A = this chain, B = another copy of it.
């Protein structure tokens, strides 16, 4: 075999194996979100949220395969605003450094992540079918279009030389996480809080039913995130790639650790207790924060960034409760606020200005919020967003799925909790 052909083949094999490995880790995050959310809701809404997570993953895979991937990546103009439109996954181009299938596989698990974020925020009161309809819009239109603007080489992500803004978001603090959070925020606004959540005496705690599931979900997400950020190097063909991916693994891990410890310290200082759900959200906030630039910081910077993001999200959780934005799992704070912090921290380690980052994130947020509003309202005034008052009281498991999550465990405290 010719030497050059051999080098090309070796690169092709490394890229493919690397992206399959990374993609498998990201796919696993779907399980992480499912477990996290199932542990954070009450027993009576557990089957429904599990069903939702399984179906949103399935739906995202197929919707993104049919049109989303094409809109985001295939056949678009550099630095443009309007994506081209087509179907399916193109054939691998002559001389490509990996098959288009492995590109697709890695990207499709990202769109599912964006969708998973929404699922938690609207838990315990949204109709399953309404959520799934929104999932179609999110995965075929909202996410692919802003994804084209950024990762698809459109107007935001293209370099300044190529006529773009030069917005920098390595693995998606804004493109994936804030996008999910903003769509969720719009949803929660039109959906309203869970009944009984906000009383005259303030927000009533509605504790999650299963802490081991919450912790399992956190560990799954932590593991999967190594692939989420590491795989976003997208190439594994030289020593620079290998070094970058190794740094990403170290930094991602460090930021999560710092986020967890920060939330622990804040929780102990402020509440006198080590609140597991806050600690889990701290770890996740660290992960979201580092996602914007996991390749360029030193490990110590990653620790600092994780801590800063977790602090912001920690206080945001309280803030959203104060303004009666009812987010049962804290998704808007963790993915939105920490994601925003991550975007603003990119200039510390990369050659991009804060202004550029603010413009980029502003446009993404405006688009996602506006488009989500349109779709949420369209659903609200057609099929409706919310389950009935009685169904909410009895739990979405019965009304939506006809199946209790734990039929044999009596809900001793359920009267207090309902």
Contact = CB atoms under 8 A, between A and B. Distances in A.
Interface string A246-260: 110110011011101
Contacts of A102: 242, 246, 249
Number of copies: 3
Contacts of A258: 58, 62
A30 interface: yes
Interface string A4-24: 001101101110111011011
A402 interface: yes
A91 to B, nearest CB: 10
B283 A54 contact: yes
A401 interface: yes
Interface stretch (A157-165, A217-225, A322-330, A381-389): A217-225
Interface stretch (A205-213, A311-319, A372-380): A205-213
A216 B62 contact: no
A79 interface: no
Contacts of A413: 407-408, 410
A215 interface: yes
Contacts of A156: none
A411 interface: yes
B273 A403 contact: yes
Interface in A361-418: 400-414, 417
Chain A interface helix/strand/loop/mixed: helix
Interface string A22-37: 0111011011001100
Nearest 4 interchain pairs by C-beta: A410-B412, A273-B402, A31-B219, A58-B257
8 contacts: A34-B216, A34-B219, A42-B408, A102-B242, A105-B246, A210-B405, A212-B213, A277-B403
Interface of A: 1, 6-7, 9-10, 12-14, 16-18, 20-21, 23-25, 27-28, 30-31, 34-35, 38-39, 42-43, 46-48, 50-51, 53-55, 57-59, 61-62, 65, 88-89, 92, 98-99, 101-102, 104-105, 108, 128-129, 207-216, 218-220, 222-223, 226-227, 230, 236-239, 241-243, 245-247, 249-250, 253-254, 256-258, 260-261, 264, 268, 271-277, 279-280, 283, 298-300, 303, 400-414, 417
